[in-house]
């Protein structure tokens, strides 16, 4: 019997949230659709837990493949992970929401195949989101360089006293902050931790970053919105030498007195397939903002 699959001319990757049993139910049909539409498929190790017989590529190595599409099955955390590991090849991501809030993975599971058909027909909208390149510096040494989609957070530990942070924009001194922490967020990340700390909501397409102090000692220290063309640097001055740098909510990196965190716009962007729903509808739905009165 002849195969109904089209010849492979494109490559798609499937990245899944760990420990979600529904992935086992979703993936077989997804693989069939992708095969029938001419895709060779690679999967990450999390997806391989539920399906056998396909090429498995660890997430950090996904960018070594010439991908045309990445399907992300999970929540926003899974999409953040996928965005970081594929940003260098500028591949579009389709985020399918298996979580709860789903700011980024806005496509509900019942709409998966309608979105795939729209992608195949060239009708799907792609939105370009900015990334930050963040560096951790100790003295003159760069201890690490990281791509960040949501935010970089310098924070004290639960038991430490308030830390002091000096903020610089394009090497110009802005202010000293005595606070629990400091957040540098992209427009996408403005609805994450920064929002909880009192920061503003930025539309995802705005060319800006927001700097939000966490529980500052001075009430006059407010969130600051700056162009994304600037370089932001936070200098830690900690008497107890206890603080952490967390990137996109990942486990923290130990910081010590005198360490600097430097953030700037990355040359790469994250490309997300969108349903066409406007941003304010998303805010009303996800944040439970009020609907217009009749």
- Active-site positions read 76
d(CA 111, CA 145) in angstroms, rounded, equals: 37
Nearest to 131 by CA among 77, 84, 168: 84
d(CA 191, CA 203) in angstroms, rounded, equals: 10
Structure tokens at 78: 């899974």
CA distances from residue 49 to 30, 45, 53, 157, 283 in whole angstroms, order as listed: 16, 7, 11, 35, 34
Q: How many CB atoms lie within 10 A of CB 107?
A: 22
């Amino acid at each position: 019997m002849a195969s109904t699959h089209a010849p492979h001319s494109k490559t798609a990757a499937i990245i899944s949230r760990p420990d979600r049993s529904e992935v086992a139910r979703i993936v077989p049909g997804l693989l069939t659709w992708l095969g029938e539409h001419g895709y060779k498929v690679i999967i990450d190790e999390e997806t391989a837990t539920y399906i056998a017989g396909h090429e498995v590529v660890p997430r950090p190595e996904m960018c070594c493949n010439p991908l045309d599409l990445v399907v992300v099955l999970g929540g926003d955390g899974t999409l953040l992970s996928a965005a970081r590991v594929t940003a260098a090849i500028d591949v579009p991501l389709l985020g399918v929401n298996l979580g709860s809030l789903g700011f980024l993975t806005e496509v509900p599971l019942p709409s998966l195949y309608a979105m795939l058909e729209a992608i195949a027909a060239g009708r799907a909208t792609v939105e370009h989101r900015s990334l930050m390149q963040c560096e951790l510096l100790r003295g003159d040494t760069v201890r690490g360089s990281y791509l960040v989609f949501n935010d970089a957070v310098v924070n004290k530990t639960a038991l430490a006293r308030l830390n002091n942070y000096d903020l610089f924009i394009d090497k110009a001194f802005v202010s000293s902050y005595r606070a629990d922490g400091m957040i540098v967020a992209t427009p996408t990340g403005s609805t994450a931790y920064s929002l909880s700390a009192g920061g503003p909501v930025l539309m995802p397409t705005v060319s800006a970053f927001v700097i939000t102090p966490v529980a500052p000692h001075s009430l006059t220290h407010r969130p600051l919105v700056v162009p994304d063309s600037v370089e932001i640097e936070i200098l830690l001055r900690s008497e107890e030498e206890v603080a952490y740098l967390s990137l996109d909510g990942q486990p923290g990196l130990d910081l010590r007195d005198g360490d600097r965190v430097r953030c700037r716009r990355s040359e790469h962007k994250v490309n997300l397939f969108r349903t066409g729903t406007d941003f304010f509808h998303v805010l009303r739905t996800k944040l439970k903002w009020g609907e217009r009165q009749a």
